A and B are shown apart, each in its own frame.
Chain A
Amino acid sequence: MTFDQDQIDELKSCYPNLGAVEDGEKSFILISPLPLPAGCVPQVVDGLLCPFLRDGYPSRLFLSAKITHKGQGQNWNADGVMIVGRKWWAVSWNPLKNKQPNQDDNQRLLGMVTAHLQAFQ
């Protein structure tokens, strides 16, 4: 799987250190570091963006550590799952759920990350 360069550039404008990692036929984007919204503990983790359908979610954002936060995404359903040789944690958060059909910002890589981070705001 390859990513559109313009989307990578857009994502890099916010998160300069990106890496592509492959697991099976799927390509993930490693965001290291990934600063989290205010109120999250810890404040900075590594993120693994899964920009494709996984476990019923159109996209997922896995974090390298379990965090505490005051956002709406309080249900987690991935705790210590192994992807690309590391353990990850993720909340049950579907950013497409409350979107209008014409709002396609969150189909882009940066939009996906932003939408997932809303779970912690």
Chain B
Amino acid sequence: MKPIIKIPRDLYEQARVDLLRQHEFAWERVGFFSTRCSKTQTQTIVHCVAYDPVQDDHYIEDSSVGVRIGPKAITEAMGRSLNNSVGQIHVHWHGGKGLPHPSTTDSKELPPVQQSLRNANAKEGHGWMILGNHDAWVSVCLPEEQVPVLESPVTIVGFPTIVNHRDASGHWGKLASGLKKIFKRKKSDGRYHRQSFLGAESESIIGKATVGIIGLGGGGSHIVQQLAHLGFKNFVLCDHDCISKSNLNRLVGGTLADVKAKRLKVAIAERGIKKLHKNANIQSYTSRWEDVPESLMLCDLIFGCVDTFATRRDLEAFCRRHLIPYIDVGMDVHELTVGQYEIYGQVILSMPGKPCMHCMGFLHEDVLSKEAEKYGDAGSNPQVVWPNGILCSAAVGIAVDMLTDWSKKTRGPVYLGFKGGELSLQPDKRLQHLQTHQCSHYPLSQVGDVIIKPL
């Protein structure tokens, strides 16, 4: 299976800006992405974690090609690979709308660069990449492989997140895929006509994205329902619990018959999806999310509808490690004085490379300590349907905007605070200080599988 390449948008932009700078004599510029990998049993994900430009004086004047870099640039890349235990991907810019393609010169001159990097450090994956405006062509050779893999799928993680799926490999695969597209176009039944403002490609973007939902109770049931209506078809669902009578006041789709049958919450969610998409690809797990990391690692986006702060912390850490946008949804009812209640809730988009829930002040040691004193037991806290509906609708809206960029407005961190008495959902005041904030809690250098450094 082809490795998936992930590039945080800030790094992508950093590379783009650098590569488009004019050089004294070279027609193009070159840089290197440093990479780390996450591996499942069947899939490798190559994460770009840093970008280094090639210094001006490391270019060599050669009018026969657009750009030529000298041995110093390659030596530096080798050094980074060895010193930081990272892969190196040679990168240059072609631009253009779709998938860029290598020139004859690229195909002739860059594989030897890849091989040189591999000779220097065979423990890491190395390659070369051509950046387009929204996609990238990549050749990458993983440590355990002898032959480079071409045209890996590339995801740009950020605002917006672009998931470039690749069709089946080989010419026949591409032909089959092209025919399928034509056939599908003919078959289009206007089902998503009313949401066509989301963009010409939105149906395809939504239909191909894989979404993880942790917790299918009061929050997750709203989210899964809306996602299915929107046209999402690929889900990883996690909830170990069965529906009970006390869930019926808020678990959308749950029925008395489900309670009687002690039906699993994931089964109720699955049933709802299948009524809209009979061929939906659903991985349902009746275990905790920690038991299925490999399935979650392959999600393009994860929603957390969980009860505890500690679980939020751990989920966010997991998502950051694998460069997955995480959307947190939660609410609580507080008794302010005797008989006087208020509902507080939040929707947070935790985007890798951007402020995290610690930066936002939502997670801190105080709340985690107090929760631990109660053994993480959320107990039978009051819960009700409509705040969940409001919060989850906002969360779904954020996800759709993140993937389709229909509003062209979501560019920074998202932290919406909800107050039930006012029925208000507003950006948290702390956000104004976080627009250019660099998250120190989850540095990109720690993305990918855990590295154990012997002491």
Contacts and interface: CB of A to CB of B under 8 A. Distances in A.
Interface of A: 3, 8, 12, 18-25, 29-30, 53-57, 75, 77, 80-87, 92
B288 A80 contact: yes
A23 B314 CA distance: 10
Given A24-B320, A25-B441, A82-B314, A19 B452 contact: yes
A57 B372 contact: yes
Interface string B335-364: 000000000000000000000000000000
Contacts of A84: 450
B446 interface: yes
Contacts of A56: 365, 368-370, 372-373
Contacts of A25: 440-443
A85 to B, nearest CB: 4
Interface string B369-408: 1111101100000000000000000000000000000000
Contacts of A3: 455
Contacts of A30: 452
Interface string B427-448: 0000000000000111100100
B59 to A, nearest CB: 36
Given A23-B317, A53-B365, A81-B310, A92 B451 contact: no
Interface of B: 288, 290-291, 293, 310, 314, 317-318, 320-321, 365, 368-373, 375-376, 440-443, 446, 449-455
Contact of B446 (A24, A80, A83): A24
A22 B365 CA distance: 18
A50 B321 CA distance: 19
B88 to A, nearest CB: 22
Contacts of B365: 53-54, 56
A67 B21 CA distance: 59
A22 B320 CA distance: 13
Contacts of A18: 454-455
B409 to A, nearest CB: 29
What secondary structure prevails in chain A residues at the interface with B? strand
Nearest to A31: B455
B290 A82 contact: yes
Given A55-B310, A57-B372, A84-B450, 7 more contacts: A3-B455, A23-B317, A23-B446, A24-B446, A25-B440, A56-B368, A80-B291
A24 B318 CA distance: 10
A22 B317 CA distance: 11
Nearest to A55: B372
A21 B455 CA distance: 10
A86 B369 CA distance: 22
A21 B450 contact: yes
Contacts of A53: 365
B375 A82 contact: no
A79 to B, nearest CB: 9
Contacts of B454: 18-19
Nearest to A85: B450
Contacts of B453: 19-21
Contact of A85 (B288, B321, B371, B442): B321
Given A56-B370, A83-B314, A24 B442 contact: yes
A82 B455 CA distance: 22
A3 B370 CA distance: 28
Contacts of A92: 372, 375
Contacts of A57: 372
A20 B452 contact: yes
A20 B455 contact: yes
A55 B452 CA distance: 24
8 A-B pairs with the lowest CB-CB distances in the bound complex, closest first:
A56-B369, A55-B372, A19-B452, A18-B455, A85-B450, A82-B290, A77-B375, A20-B453
B406 to A, nearest CB: 33
Q: Which of A55, A57, A92 is the most central at the interface, judged by chain B CB atoms within 10 Å of its CB?
A: A55
A34 to B, nearest CB: 14
A65 B293 CA distance: 18
A82 B293 contact: yes
A29 B376 CA distance: 24
